[in-house]
Amino acid sequence: MLRVIFKKQMGIKLLLEKDKIENIRTYEVYRREGGYRSVEKAFKMSPSDIVEEVKKSGLRGRGGAGFPTGMKWSFLAKPEGVPRYLVCNADESEPGTFKDRYLMEYIPHLLIEGLIVSSYALGSNRTYIYIRGEYAWIVDILEQAIAEANANGWLGKNILGSGFDCQIYVQRGAGAYICGEETALLESLEGKRGNPRIKPPFPAVKGLWDCPTVVNNVETLAAVVPVLNMGGEAYAKIGVGRSTGTKLISACGNINKPGVYEIDMTISVEEFIYSDEYCGGIANGKRLKACIPGGSSVPILPANLLLKTAKGETRYMNYESLAEGGFATGSMMGSGGFIVLDEDQCVVKHTLTLAHFYRHESCGQCSPCREGTLWMDKILKNIETGKGKMSDIDLLWDVQRRIEGNTICPLGDAAAWPVAAAIRHFRDEFEWHITHAEEAQTRNFGLAHYADPLEVTASA
Amino acid sequence: MFDNKEYSVVQFTEDKMIKVREMIARYPEGKQKSALLPLLHLAQETFGGWLSVETMDYVASLLKLNPIEVYEVATFYSMYNLKPVGKFVFEVCQTGPCMVKGSDDIIAYIKQKLNIGVGETTADGLFTLKAVECLGACGYAPMMQLGKHYKEHLTREKVDAIIEECRGKAVRLVSAD
Ligand SMILES: Cc1cc2nc3c(=O)[nH]c(=O)nc-3n(C[C@H](O)[C@H](O)[C@H](O)COP(=O)(O)O)c2cc1C
Ligand code: SF4
Ligand code: FES
């Protein structure tokens, strides 16, 4: 049994520092606790100074791709007389991810505050929050917070005498993962089917109603608040390397304490899983088998490659370390959806549910994605239900390879990667499902060798 | 839960029309098509929990759109029902993180308890069961969506209680008429 003592020091919190304060959801309490200071500060600065601060902070997009936010903002085209838009991506539909929901549900004013500062920095007078349709009750929470912000002079015309006008609207989606992809989101916001657009042109030039647009994730925009309050340089000192600031991780699966955690990106994966401050270890005294550390689209890793890199170094919860080893032996931070599987879980079945998900969510525009996701779902279903052939594994590999890189939007890749990684690391479990078709209906392959320490080779 | 009162014509009341105008005003002049998704939600809630052709045509007329523009959208998004559904729709998440926490068991239990399959509605028109994809509640699995809210950390006992609660509500709805 793994027992490690971790340093008893609470991590730095910038977003969820006050989430447990009673009634922090209301304007009065939020303001009393120092809320909206960043707006006061922002209006004493020029919009371009704010963009500079965000650049200095090193803040990277929290929606999945990790693109530097300040840089994205500086790409926004500013033609004379054309409105610009900021759109907050609250579509949150990547399996394993439920962090934006937590933020909006418990500290809605933090998002509204971040949106006001960001709207001012980008010159957006109408800002939209596009939220997944199923989060219906959160729409009410956000609209309440927006009404309170309006009533207290933080939104509307000539905010704080700055001459800047801004209004925030909440737009509900209607059930489509693809609408989290930024151009599909814009199509949907225009009242159309969520079919991704071909890029270029990028939204920064031609976005919502053909106007220059920035799309950012909920957490990214909330993080603008601490960036402004503490200054970009101070924010950049938290974390490590290019993983600056803090990150929300939504942890789920077979752990003792599923939930949303804010981490500074210096802790190890092992500490995150086993420390009582975070996941609290694997549930029911079981052993760790595998983990998808950044939402369903990122590669799954067996326990041994999760806790240590192929070079035998400790793996940390940050962008670089999680990606260490590339697709051969690493994974990604992605959206921060941390899915933990214990020794009793079947990787084939888990991968099947994901393939099924992508099949359901493909918008159908590109044939490699539309057909490929269908085939992956079918082949995996056969293997899982004991009707698979050995050649199916190679076929599956082939199908995923034909999707990757051949589609309009990254959903195709997102569907291919989990399947590729599952075969790459768990091929013997797939084979066992075929050679032991009957037995596989009654029991799981188990932990096998997936947690055994790996031999470290000098070249790895 | 959607409005269960009988309606004879597909037309929003003046109260709802205030809401409709307020929705359209969220977008710049001439961009009223953007109000389509919100309006379809409102129409579905108001007119029996699903979108009939008549309802979709009505929404098209409100936004000055061709009906086809509305059909295109209504068929794309999974939350719009194009067929009548039960008064209470159990949408149980079946994706990976929920599956490892026993969503299969929950679905099987509901099937047995209500004697329907996935995608079916009970004969009394009260319940529909759906198996859906990740709802952003993976840490609180197994779970389902029921109307506007989520029911999380489901167990068989909780499912029993939810079914009872719905039956109670249905009785109250009928006696209120
Ligand atoms: C299929 C697909 C789904 C996505 N879903 C989301 C989502 O739910 N939320 C999100 O913020 N970004 C999502 N993204 C990423 C967005 O396209 C975009 O990069 C992001 O909103 C930018 O914000 P950020 O720079 O603040 O991360 C998705 C991308 C793809 C390809
Ligand atoms: S990759 Fe898939 S989801 Fe993306 S545009 Fe093509 S078909 Fe649609
Ligand atoms: S997997 Fe079920 S809510 Fe995410």
Encode chain B (177 residues) as per-residue pLDDT tens digits: 455 455 668 999 999 999 999 999 999 999 999 999 999 999 999 999 999 999 999 999 999 999 999 999 999 999 999 999 999 999 999 999 999 999 999 999 999 999 999 999 999 999 999 999 999 999 999 999 999 999 999 999 999 999 999 999 998 877 765
By DSSP bridging, strand B144-146 and strand B127-132 are unpaired
Instruction: Spell out the residues 6+ positions from residue A368 whose beta carbon is closer than 8 angstroms to its own.
Output: A402, A403, A406, A407, A412
**pLDDT score for B175:** 72
Confidence of residue A24 (pLDDT cuts 50, 70, 90): very high
- Residues of A within 8 A of B33 (CB-CB) are 190-192
- pLDDT for res B9: 80
Separation of CA B7 from chain center: 18
* B137: closest chain A residue by CA: A98
Smallest CA separation from ligand 1 atom 29, residue:
A181
**From the CA of A364, how many Å to the nearest CA of chain B?**
10
3-state secondary structure of B145: strand
Specify which residues A215 forms β-bridges with.
Answer: A87
* Chain B residue whose CA is closest to A344: B100
- Which residue of chain B comes nearest to A260, CA vs CA? B139
pLDDT value for B172:
82
Tell me the whole-structure pTM to 2 decimals. 0.96
State residue A9's pLDDT score.
57
- Given CB atoms, is B33 within the 8 Å cutoff of chain A? yes
Best mutation target, B37, B69, B144, to test chain A (most A CBs within 10 A):
B37
Ligand whose nearest atom lies closest to the CA of A372:
2
pLDDT number for residue A277:
95
- Which atom of ligand 2 lies closest to the CA of A361? 3
Determine whether the interchain pair A349/B99 forms a contact, defined as Cβ–Cβ distance below 8 Å: yes
Taking only the tens place, the pLDDT of each residue in A443-454 is 999 999 999 988
- Examine the pLDDT at A198 and tell me if it is beyond 50: yes
Question: Tell me, what's the pLDDT at A454?
Answer: 87
3-class DSSP assignment, residue B148: coil
What is residue A459's predicted lDDT score, i.e. its pLDDT? 53
Residue with the two structure tokens 């709805």: B173
User: Which among B77, B107, B134 is the top mutation candidate for probing chain A, defined by the most A β-carbons within 10 Å of its own β-carbon?
Assistant: B134
Which tokens sit at A307? 């806790």
Q: pLDDT tier at A460 (50, 70, 90 boundaries)?
A: very low
Q: Which chain A residues are Cβ-neighbours of B136 within 8 angstroms?
A: 92-93, 97-98, 100-101, 132, 134-135
Residue A245 has pLDDT above 60, yes or no: yes
Residues of A in contact with B134 (CB under 8 A): 93-96, 177, 296, 357
Q: What is the mean pLDDT of residues A119-146?
A: 98
CB pair distance less than 8 Å for B96 and A339? yes
Cα A193 to ligand 1 centre (Å): 17
Neighbours of B2 (CB within 10 A): 18
d(CA A49, CA A47): 5
The per-residue pLDDT for A1 is: 43
| Interchain pair B138, A97: CB under 8 A | yes
What does residue A393 show for φ and ψ, rounded to 5 degrees?
A: -65, -45
Residues of B in contact with A361 (CB under 8 A): 133
Q: What is the mean pLDDT of residues A353-376?
A: 97
Indicate the burial class of A436 (C-beta count within 10 angstroms; 0-12, 13-18, 19 or more). Answer: middle
A99 touches A249 (CB < 8 A): yes
Q: Could you tell me which chain A residue has the CA closest to the CA of B101?
A: A253
Tally A–B CB contacts below 8 A.
Answer: 141
How confident is the model at residue A5, as a pLDDT?
Answer: 57
CA distance A430 to A397: 12
Average pLDDT over residues A369-389: 97
Quick one: pLDDT at residue A145? Answer: 98
Q: Average model confidence (pLDDT) for chain A?
A: 96
With a cut of 70, say whether residue A158 has pLDDT above it.
Answer: yes
Which of A195, A198, A359, A365 has most ligand 2 atoms within 8 Å of its beta carbon, as the pocket-test mutant?
A365
User: Mutate which of B92, B93, B140 to test ligand 3's pocket (most atoms within 8 Å of Cβ)?
Assistant: B93
pLDDT band, residue A179 (cuts 50/70/90): very high
- Give the model confidence (pLDDT) of A252-307 as tens digits: 999 999 999 999 999 999 999 999 999 999 999 999 999 999 999 999 999 999 99
Residue A403 near ligand 2, beta carbon < 6 Å: no
User: A137 near A59, Cβ under 8 Å?
Assistant: no
pLDDT band at residue A208 under the 50/70/90 scheme: very high
Rounded to a whole number of angstroms, the distance from the CA of A335 to the nearest CA of chain B is 12
Asked if pLDDT for residue A379 goes beyond 80, the answer is yes
Residues facing A342 on adjacent strands: A288
Crossing angle of helices A108-122 and A218-230, in 10° steps, is 80
